[in-house]
Each structure stands twice: as C-alpha cells, then as structure tokens.
C-alpha cells in the first residue's frame, strides 16, 4: 500500500496548473447515459474515482475510449444492463447518480446504495423523493434501489427538504427526458451543478435557473452527443492555495475558476495572504509570514466548502491565535484531528461539530494515517510545515481526488516522495 514521505520546512513556491473538477467529471460521465450518441469529455482528471466511474459505465454496456489527447469518449448506444453493482458503488458515493439517467432513458434501474468516505450517514432519501415525484416506482431490496417507470417520467414540482447536491443532480438529469416541465425547488447551487446543467444543455436539454435555488427543466424526447470540457477543480485550487499559505509560501495557480472560490479567497486574505487574480490565474503570497488564525463555518455553496474544512484546520493548527472550525454539513468529519494532534497540534473537539484550534508555532513529524479523501490532504498540509519527515499511510484516499499529488508538490519545491 502506497505511502507519502514528506520532509517539512520548505516554503511552497512556483506555478501549478489545476486539473478538471472530480466532483463535476463524475456527474458528467453519468450524464452520458442519457443519450445513444457519442459524447467526448475534455479536461477529465485522471483519478481513481474517475477510473471507477468509467468501469461502471463499461459494466452497464457503454463503450469508453481515451484518445491521444486524454479526452474521454463514451458511446452508450447499447446498454446491456441497468444494474450498478455493489462492488463498484460501495467504493464511491458519486456513482449513485447513474440512477436518474438510467431510469429516464431505460425505464428501470437497479443501483446499490452508496459507499465512499466514512464521514457520516449522508442518506439518499431526497434522491428517491425527487424521482418518485417524477413518477418512479421505487423499492429498496437487499441494499439495492429498484426504480421503475411505465413509459416516460412525468414533469413535476420537486421540493427538497434540505439542500442536496447529489439529489439535485439525479433529479436534474432524470427530468431532461421527462414528459413536461419539472421545477426543482431548494436546489443545490454549487458550480458543479451549473457545469452539469451546461453539459446537458450542450446535449440538447432545456434547462434554466442553474446556480439558483430554483431550476426549471422542460423535458425533451431525446438528447444528442456533444463535446464538452470539465470545469476546473475548485477544491484542488483551494487546497494548494491553503498549503502554500500554511508554509508561508508564494504560488501561482493557472487554469483556475476564481469566481467559484470567493469565500475561500476572502478567508485566505484574513489569514494574511496577499492575493491577486488575473482571468483564470490566482496568485498567493504570504511573504514568509505565519498565518493568522481565522474562524470557519462550513455551509452549502456559496458558503465555505466542507471539502476544504480539513485543509484549513491544518493551516490553523500552526497559525497565530485560536480559531473555531464549525462543521455544519457532515457529522463525523473531524477524524483527521487526532492524526494532526499526533504531529503536535493542539486541537479540541466540542460537541462533535466544532473544533477549537489553538495555533502552535511548530509541528513535529510523526507517522500518521489518512482517514478520508479531504482529511488526507490536511495531513499533507500539516506535514509540509512540520519539522522532520512525516510518513502518511493509506494515501489511496488522496489518489481518489488529487491528480499526481507528489509531482505537483515537487513542482512547488516540496520534499515529498511516494513509497511502498
């Protein structure tokens, strides 16, 4: 099992190009099931989760080809199955969004209940509520969601009880082929939702309101193929900016989408970073200074992303002052705290949803273990500022969401290597 060896103490400095967004690419790959025609996706990140989704598409009968420019072409003209098996869905929660496209196009779907990171229950009841409103007959049998519809789905008013990214995506895709108009109330507003909607529009869907709380979809009889480029990964962008700020460094990230990171950039400025933005380029310079502790509260977009909470907590661990990190999205998302404390941090958990971080001047190397995708990079941030060499175990979590991590960190001057 791969591990990372990181010798801390180096300020990150240099330029970095951002990869395509994992959280968008996975949903776009599910969306190709809505058409029989070939779909070509560019800027797809080469990650373990993407490989899993491609494997799932192949299991369903889609033909997937990666060309010489690393574009992914999918032709789902002859699906031989509507069953997404436990063996694949258990490893990656995002694969559950094949439910909506399969149901809308084929009239039936059998999808295993999802797995993924162990960061809370994250039920799929809102997904099922939305699809039921569109006319689906749904049963959960032996850990599988069995969904059926007689003929086409029917447009309907769908009101989510809570903001749900995955639920919005499943219903949005299903509604594209429904008969009539669907109005999704209390929809998620994440940039990845907008990217999915723009992709579906490129395939011939009739969608308005993406990026707001109300999305309107006028169903069409069929969608066609298209070529589309995945949006930049805002989580990867924010993660490397935070890592550079923690080390007192200065970096330039290219191919970013600054407009999707406003709240994170504001927090970094509060932490003492000088930030300049030029089109798709973000420049950050800490001028060698220690970060200033700032409070964080996660919230649905456009609030502070839960997927960057762990990384910011790691930076606050060596910041000047005391901060409070309040997690409002997922329970059980402070599993990284114990590991960061092993490096000499002073972090306390209050009530399960708040971490009180007392910044210390220095962390010290120790063996640590990654527990989930984003938490794993918080250990990288902590290791980059710790004195000595830190060994991070179970980094397969990192490989699920960060492309060529050691190569990108080495480009920025970090002393990091992958070992077995």
Return the active site residues.
117
- 70 to each of 14, 46, 64, 357, how far by Cα in Å? 25, 9, 12, 42
Contact criterion met (CB below 8 Å) for 105 and 33: yes
Q: 5 forms bridges with which residues in the sheet?
A: 391, 417
As a whole number of angstroms, the distance between CA 166 and CA 127 comes to 7
Name the CA radius of gyration of the chain, rounded: 21
Per-residue DSSP letter, 381? H
CA distance 376 to 397: 7
Q: Give the whole-angstrom CA distance, residue 347 versus residue 340.
A: 8
Say whether 90 sits in a helix, a strand or coil.
Answer: coil
**Token pair listed for 90:** 């258990």
187: which 2 tokens? 């929809």
CA distance 207 to 165: 17
* Backbone phi and psi for residue 407, each to the nearest 5 degrees, phi listed first: -65, -40
E strands, 186-309, in order: 206-208, 214-218, 227-229, 250-254, 274-278, 281-285, 296-297
Distance separating alpha carbons of residues 224 and 204, to the nearest angstrom: 6
Tokens 């998302």 -> residue: 333
Q: Is 380 helix (H, G, I), strand (E, B) or coil?
A: helix
CB 354 within 8 A of CB 324: yes
């Amino acid at each position: 099992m791969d591990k990372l060896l990181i010798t801390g103490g180096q300020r990150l400095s240099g330029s970095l190009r951002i990869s395509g967004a994992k959280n968008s690419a996975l949903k776009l790959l599910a969306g190709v099931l809505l058409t029989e025609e070939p779909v070509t996706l560019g800027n797809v990140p080469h990650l373990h989760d993407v490989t899993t989704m491609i494997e799932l598409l192949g299991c369903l009968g889609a033909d997937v080809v990666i060309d010489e420019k690393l574009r992914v072409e999918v032709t789902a003209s002859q699906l031989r199955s509507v069953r997404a098996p436990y063996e694949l869905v258990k490893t990656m929660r995002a694969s559950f969004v094949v439910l909506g496209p399969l149901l809308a196009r084929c009239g039936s779907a059998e999808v295993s209940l999802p797995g993924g990171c162990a960061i809370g229950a994250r039920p799929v009841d809102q997904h099922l509520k939305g699809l039921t409103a569109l006319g689906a007959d749904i049963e959960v049998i032996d850990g599988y969601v069995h969904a059926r519809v007689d003929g086409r789905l029917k447009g309907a008013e769908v009101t989510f009880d809570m903001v749900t990214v995955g639920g919005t995506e499943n219903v949005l895709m299903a509604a594209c082929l429904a008969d009539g108009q669907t109005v999704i109330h209390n929809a998620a507003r994440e940039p990845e939702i907008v990217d999915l909607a723009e992709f579906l529009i490129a395939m011939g869907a009739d969608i308005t309101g993406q990026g707001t709380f109300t999305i309107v979809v006028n169903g069409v009889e069929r969608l066609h193929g298209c070529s589309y480029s995945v949006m930049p990964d805002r989580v990867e962008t924010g993660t490397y900016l935070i890592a550079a700020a923690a080390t007192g460094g200065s970096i330039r990230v290219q191919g970013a989408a600054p407009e999707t990171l406003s709240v994170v950039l504001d927090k970094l400025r509060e932490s003492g970073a000088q930030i300049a933005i030029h089109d798709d380029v973000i420049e950050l310079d800490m001028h060698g200074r220690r970060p200033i502790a700032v409070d964080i509260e996660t919230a649905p977009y456009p609030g502070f992303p839960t997927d960057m909470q762990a990384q910011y907590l790691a930076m606050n661990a060596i910041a000047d002052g005391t901060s409070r990190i309040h997690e409002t999205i997922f329970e059980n998302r402070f599993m990284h705290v114990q590991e960061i404390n092993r490096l000499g941090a002073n972090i306390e958990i209050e009530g399960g949803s708040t971490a009180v971080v007392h910044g210390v001047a220095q962390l010290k190397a120790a063996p640590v273990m990654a527990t989930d995708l984003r938490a794993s990079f918080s250990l990288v941030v902590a290791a980059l500022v710790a004195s000595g060499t830190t060994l991070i175990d179970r980094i397969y979590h990192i490989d699920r969401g960060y492309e060529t991590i050691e190569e990108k960190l080495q480009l920025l001057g970090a002393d990091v290597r992958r070992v077995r």
